[in-house]
Chains A and B, each alone.
Chain A
Amino acid sequence: MNTFTDSLVNGVDLSIDFAGIKAPNPFWLASAPPTDKAYNVVRAYEAGWGGVVWKTLGEDPAAVNVSSRYSAHFGKNREVLGFNNIELITDRSLEINLREITQVKQDWPDRALIVSIMVPCEEASWKHILPLVEATGADGIELNLGCPHGMPERGMGAAVGQNPDLIEQVTRWCKQYYSKPVIVKLTPNITDIRAPAQAALRGGADAVSLINTINSITSLDLDNMVAKPTVGHQSTHGGYCGSAVKPIALNMVAEIARDTPTRNLPISGIGGVSNWRDAAEFVALGAGSVQVCTAAMLHGFRIVEEMKDGLSRWMAEKGYRSIEEFSGKAVTNTTDWKHLDMNFKTIAHIDQDKCIQCGRCYIACEDTSHQSIAQLVETSGAKRYEVIEEECVGCNLCQITCPVENCISMVPQETGRPYMSWEQDPRNPFRKAS
């Protein structure tokens, strides 16, 4: 079964078969600068990445990039919370890219190599490029229907990805003129992600990957009244990625995984994957592989070592023998609001031994939640914070703002009442008669 030499990490087999594309591990580099050319891709394979999606190819003449391209949303300690770019697709000629892809695939036969493509939304363009890509021997293609900046102004990228009919059409052409797996990369700049996913499925896609970047302006230069990154005295919106987008990506992956038409469609999860835990979360919500861009751009390719190590140790601890075994395990527990148990009740509990009396829980609940924490002053003058259990609605706010780990815990209460959804709830004026 397992033909890879290096898919066993800490005794756990990390290999995957994603929509027919095999890889020694689920960690792929997303189509972006890290996969721009053979030099980078070879370094990535050497570092241990299971696969790469080559930087998006286009028709000649190649795209031309501007100078000053990235900006970031920083945390207070200068950690990069989110990353923004205004780059276009590859700025190298099609011929050079194809030649390098062919060579790399020959040299690294057991690593996944997927070619990202974006050409005008005309059958002739696709009909022309697909056989050239097929000839490289790469394992599959990914349709870049999501680039949110620059390319849509030319009728490509997100301009296609925001129109389900066009997605279906392009996917169909690809299936017609290309024999290997076709992955459709979705843009998050859309109201309901299920529509483009269904369109891809209708067009015959073997898988979807998501998310591409989100329209963004990260920050401004307030002295010169211009957004970043600046090009001369101007700027333009870019595409947002990095750990800040993970929650958005996770939701979109889950939406597709639990949507009836697409529930069996393989998903490559992308967006803010920075460590093994992020990867495990994407897999738990239905992803079969994950793709990484920003984390690698910030730290280099070596991070894959920690990712593989962490994931495999966690899997061993949990008894999972393969990625497949826990893929989608959290999907069934992700549901619509209306199915949540109205009778479930949880209450905040403060561990007084751990409490450092910072008062954050108190002021948070007092000012903005349910006035459920009492501030008591002891005779020594020391403060004591106590939950007023009758008032607590179990919102988690105090637990979130508390700086001490495990100091506030949310304790489920025994109500003695059975599961009852909103649809069954007598307080629901539109309750379905049962």
Chain B
Amino acid sequence: MTDNLNHLPRVGDTGISEQVLADNFRDLHPPLTERQAIIESQRCLYCYDAPCIEACPSDIDIPRFIRQIGEGNINGAAHTILEQNILGGSCARVCPTEILCEQSCVRNHDAECQPVLIGLLQRHATDHMHFDQHPFARAADSGRHVAVVGAGPAGLACAHRLAMHGHRVTIYEAEAKPGGLNEYGIARYKMTDDFARKEVEFLLEIGGIELRYGQCLGDNLSLAQLHADHDGVFLGLGLGTSRKLGLTGEDAPGLAPATEYIKELRQASDLTQLPLARRCVVIGAGNTAIDMATQMARLGADEVTLVYRRGIDAMSATGHEQEIAKANGVRMLTWARPLQVLLNDQRRVVGMRFEKTQEQDGRLAGTGETFEVAADAVFKAIGQTFANDSLSDPLAAELERTGDKIQVDEHFRTSLPNVYAGGDCIASGQDLTVQAVQHGKLAAHAIHQDLLAKQEAA
């Protein structure tokens, strides 16, 4: 994948010590100690009709689990979280709480100006739970068998909920590991200690879920076949492809999609062997761009510049994420769009030419003024799009789409009977882990209801 970066020096070449690297990729937000968790739990007002619950995409009963922490009932707290969100552990780490539950916490008001640290409390409960047996039981076997494509948050949540309803599930996953972006995409300092793998292991304890790797829809797997072999199919394919800049030189050594570099970073057992862009440009304004820039800075880059074609306010990365980047020395350039990839004689990337932009009558326009930023590598993080290859077989090609994403109704049904979809690959909502979990859970309920209805009709 990042063969494109093979000509670059390695992280270890700068002499950065393994200890420093390890420290740089430790938990971004260290977990609460037991005492801190108890004290923090006391700040929760146990609101009635709590606004934080409304703001949680996965409907976790936040005041209840916090009260359970306060009462020393960690397993009860974990159960409250997991019954709505079986990936509550990863959501506690990756959710942008500053725009979700914590943004709505009533403690933000004047009297305190500081929300209850819901995310960290959720992490406390899920980190310290201890169940002798998996906390959720399977219902009696229904005799039904559902296919889930994609072992990302959406697919995993769907599979677990289907298992609770007593259905047998087979997950077909293209990669060699489960977890989707939890395993390959989330910033390394948000998912430490191989948590994604451990969480999947925990989730599978419910039983009745088979995971098959190297199974790629559109390649060695067809929707028609899945459809024929199972009582239902759930597609949790995520967004596999990075958007292109649409410039010449896009394939030149030194230019790479941010997600691919992050994937390598997440899988690396020895960070010193990663390619290092001492001068690095990241193009984009979302959390992926921020993650890319921040992680490269933490790997030891001298100069990291993030370039966005609009203003700070329009960035989709949250203010909190922007602060993290700034704190890591990332320079942010706004109102500039990529114009040309600058290459040397060997056709390797040496920089990027940008054109300054402005808004005219609500539309973005170039001003004609240009400037260059020197760079050993340029990473694009201008969004992910749906990997069309996945839906290339004749039946899959029939799926109705909105833009390039799969179209679903409010019960996550696609245009094809018995085929459901959720997570990043469908049209609605924000592309967040917690959102994917909710989709998977609700889709599982819909699949279950539809199967019941069919049974009654028969």
- Residues in B neighbouring A358, C-beta threshold 8 A: 45, 47-48, 50, 106
Nearest chain B CB to A362 CB, angstrom units: 6
B51–A77 touching, CB < 8 Å: no
Kindly supply a per-residue 1/0 record for chain A positions 379-423, scoring 1 wherever the CB is within 8 Å of any chain B CB and 0 otherwise: 001010000000000000000000111000000000000000000
Instruction: Evaluate contact between B38 and A77: CB separation under 8 angstroms.
Output: yes
Per a CB cutoff under 8 Å, which of A76, A360, A381 touches B48?
Answer: A360
In the complex, what's the smallest C-beta–C-beta distance from A134 to chain B, in angstroms?
52
Is B268 on the interface with A (CB-CB < 8 A)? Answer: no
Chain A contacts of B38 at CB under 8 A? 76-78
Given the interface pairs A76-B70, A354-B111, the reply to whether A375 lies near B42 with Cβ below 8 Å is no
Q: Are A375 and B109 in contact (CB under 8 A)?
A: no
Mask for A346-365, Cβ within 8 A of B = 1, else 0? 00000000101111101100
User: Which interface residue of A362, A375, A383 has the most chain B CB atoms within 10 A?
Assistant: A383
* B45-A360 in contact (CB<8A): yes
A76-B38, A77-B39 are contacts. A359–B50 as well, Cβ < 8 Å?
yes
From B49, B107, B109, contact of A383 by CB (8 A): B49
Residues of A within 8 A of B48 (CB): 358-360, 362-363
**Nearest B residue to A361 by beta-carbon distance?**
B48
Please name all residues of chain B whose beta carbon is closer than 8 Å to the beta carbon of A354 when the two chains form the complex: 110-111
> CB-CB < 8 A to A77: which residues of B?
38-39, 42
Interface residues of B in 88-111 (CB under 8 A from A): 106-107, 109-111
B371 within 8 A of A: no
Closest CB-CB distance, A196 to chain B, in whole Å?
40
A357 touches B39 (CB 8 A): no
Per-residue interface assignment for chain A, residues 301 to 331, with 1 indicating a CB less than 8 Å from any chain B CB and 0 otherwise? 0000000000000000000000000000000
| Interchain CA distance A356-B114 in the complex, whole Å | 13
CA distance A76 to B40 in the complex (A): 10
B-side interface residues, number (CB < 8 Å): 18
Let me know if A76 and B42 touch, CB within 8 A: yes
How many angstroms between the C-alpha atoms of A133 and B415 in the bound complex? 98
Q: Which residue of B lies closest to A406 (CB)?
A: B111
* Neighbouring A residues of B70 by C-beta, 8 Å: 76
A365 to chain B, nearest CB (A): 11
Q: Could you tell me the distance in whole angstroms from the C-beta of B64 to the nearest C-beta in chain A?
A: 14
- Please, how many residues of chain A have a CB less than 8 angstroms from a CB on the other chain? 17
Partner of A360, one of B46, B54, B109: B46
For A357, the chain B residues whose CB sits under 8 A away are 47, 51, 106
Q: For residues 219 through 249 of chain B, which have their beta carbon under 8 Å from a beta carbon of chain A?
A: none
Mark each residue of chain B from 103 to 127: 1 if its CB lies under 8 Å from any CB of chain A, else 0.
Answer: 0001101110000000000000000
Q: B37-62 CB contact bits vs A (8 Å, 1 = yes)? A: 01101100111111100100000000
Q: List the B residue with the shortest CB-CB distance to A366.
A: B48
**A30, B51: Cα distance in complex, Å:** 49
What's the Cα separation between A336 and B48 when bound, in Å? 37
Residue among B45, B49, B50, B110 making CB contact with A403, cutoff 8 Å: B45
- Report yes or no: B49 in contact with A356, Cβ–Cβ below 8 A: no
- Known contacts A76-B70, A354-B111, A404-B111; is A359 also within 8 Å of B39 by CB? no
| Alpha-carbon distance between A362 and B50 when the two chains are bound, in angstroms | 12
A174 to chain B, nearest CB (A): 49
| B residues in contact with A360, CB < 8 Å | 45-48
With both beta carbons as reference points, the residue of chain B lying nearest to A404 in the complex is identified as B111
Closest to A401 in B: B45
Closest to B46 in A: A360
Tell me, in angstroms, the Cα distance from A383 to B39 when the chains sit together. Answer: 28
Q: Is the CB of B46 within 8 A of A356?
A: no
Residue on B nearest A383 in the bound complex, by CB: B49
Kindly identify, within residues 402 to 450 of chain B, every residue whose CB is under 8 Å from any CB belonging to chain A.
Answer: none
Complexed CA–CA distance, A151 and B182 (Å): 66
Closest Cβ of chain A to B65, distance in Å, is: 16
Q: How far is the CA of A403 from the CA of B48 in the complex (A)?
A: 13
Contact B109 A356 (CB under 8 A): yes
- Docked complex Cα distance between A358 and B106 (Å): 6
Return chain B residues, CB-CB under 8 Å to A383.
Answer: 49, 51
Residues on B with C-beta less than 8 A from A362 are: 48
Nearest opposing residue in chain A for B51, CB measure: A357
A-chain residues with CB within 8 Å of residue B109 when the two chains form the complex = 356, 404
When chains A and B are docked, how far (Å) is the Cα of A358 from the Cα of B38?
20
| Bound Cα distance A363, B47 (Å) | 9
Q: How far is the CB of A87 from chain B (nearest CB, A)?
A: 29
Bound-state Cα–Cα, A209 to B41, Å: 40
Digitize A42-78: 1 where CB-to-B-CB distance is under 8 Å, 0 elsewhere: 0000000000000000000000000000000000111
Distance, CA A198 to CA B46, complexed state (A): 48
Residue of A whose beta carbon sits closest to that of B106: A356
Kindly state the separation between the CA atoms of A381 and B104 in the bound complex, as whole angstroms.
12
Q: Which of B41, B42, B49, B107 contacts A359 (CB 8 A)?
A: B49
Cα distance A319–B39 in the bound complex, in angstroms = 40
Most interface-central of A76, A356, A360, A363 (chain B CB within 10 A): A356
For the complex formed, measure the closest distance between the CB of A373 and the CB atoms of chain B, giving whole angstroms: 11
Q: Which residue of A lies closest to B71 (CB)?
A: A76
How far, in Å, is A207 (CB) from chain B's closest CB? Answer: 41
How far apart are A408's CB and chain B's nearest CB, in angstroms? 13
In angstroms, how far is the closest chain B Cβ from the Cβ of A81? 14
Name the B residues within 8 Å of A403 (CB-CB): 45, 111
Set of chain B residues within 8 Å of A405, measured between Cβ atoms: 111
**A359 and B47 form a contact (CB under 8 A):** yes
Find residues 269-322 in chain B having any chain A CB closer than 8 Å to their own CB: none
Q: Whole-angstrom distance from the CB of A385 to the nearest CB of chain B? A: 10
Chain B residue numbers with a CB within 8 Å of A381 are 54
Per the bound structure, the CA–CA distance linking A375 and B50 in Å amounts to 13
**CB-nearest residue of chain B relative to A367?**
B48
**A358 smallest CB distance to B (angstroms):** 4
Chain B nearest CB from A371 CB (Å) reads 14
Minimal Cβ-Cβ distance residue in B for A385: B48
Which residue of B41, B46, B49, B54 contacts A375 across the interface (Cβ within 8 Å)? B49
User: B372 to nearest A CB, angstroms?
Assistant: 47
CB distance from B383 to the nearest CB of A (A): 29
Q: How far is the CA of A381 from the CA of B39 in the complex (A)?
A: 31
- Give every chain B residue within 8 A of A78 (Cβ-Cβ): 38
Chain B residues lying within 8 Å of A404, measured Cβ to Cβ, are: 109, 111
Measured between C-beta atoms, what is the minimum distance from B52 to chain A in Å? 10
The listed residue (A76, A356, A375) touching B111 by CB distance below 8 A is A356
**Distance, CA A359 to CA B48, complexed state (A):** 5
On chain A, the residues within 8 Å of B110 by CB distance are 354
Which parts of B12-49 form the interface with A (CB within 8 Å)? 38-39, 41-42, 45-49
Chain B min CB distance to A380 (Å): 12
C-alpha gap A415/B426 in the complex (Å): 63
Q: What separation, in Å, do the CA atoms of A119 and B48 have in the docked complex? A: 57
Instruction: Give the distance in Å from the alpha carbon of A354 to the alpha carbon of B110 in the complex.
Output: 8
CA gap between A76 and B41 in the complex, in Å: 9
Alpha-carbon distance between A427 and B50 when the two chains are bound, in angstroms: 42
Nearest Cβ distance between residue B456 and chain A, in whole angstroms? Answer: 37
Shortest Cβ gap from B308 to chain A (Å): 30
Residue among A357, A358, A362 having the largest count of chain B Cβ atoms under 10 Å:
A358
Minimum C-beta distance from A72 to chain B (A) = 16
Q: Which residue of A lies closest to B41 (CB)?
A: A76
State the Cβ distance, B354 to closest chain A Cβ, in Å. 40
With both beta carbons as reference points, the residue of chain A lying nearest to B107 in the complex is identified as: A356
Shortest CB distance B91–A (Å): 23
**Which residues of A sit under 8 angstroms from B47, Cβ to Cβ?**
357-360
**How far apart are the CA atoms of A358 and B50 in the complex, in Å?**
7
Residue of B38, B39, B42, B45 with most chain A CB atoms under a 10 A cut-off? B45
9 A-B contact pairs sorted by A residue (CB < 8 Å): A77-B42, A356-B106, A356-B111, A358-B45, A358-B50, A360-B45, A360-B46, A360-B47, A383-B49
Which 8 pairs between the two chains have the least Cβ-Cβ distance? Answer: A359-B48, A363-B48, A356-B109, A356-B106, A358-B47, A358-B106, A358-B45, A76-B42
Known interface pairs A356-B111, A358-B45, A359-B47; 16 further A-B residue pairs with C-beta atoms within 8 A, sorted by A's residue number:
A76-B70, A78-B38, A354-B110, A356-B106, A357-B47, A358-B47, A358-B48, A358-B50, A358-B106, A359-B48, A375-B49, A381-B54, A383-B49, A404-B109, A404-B111, A405-B111
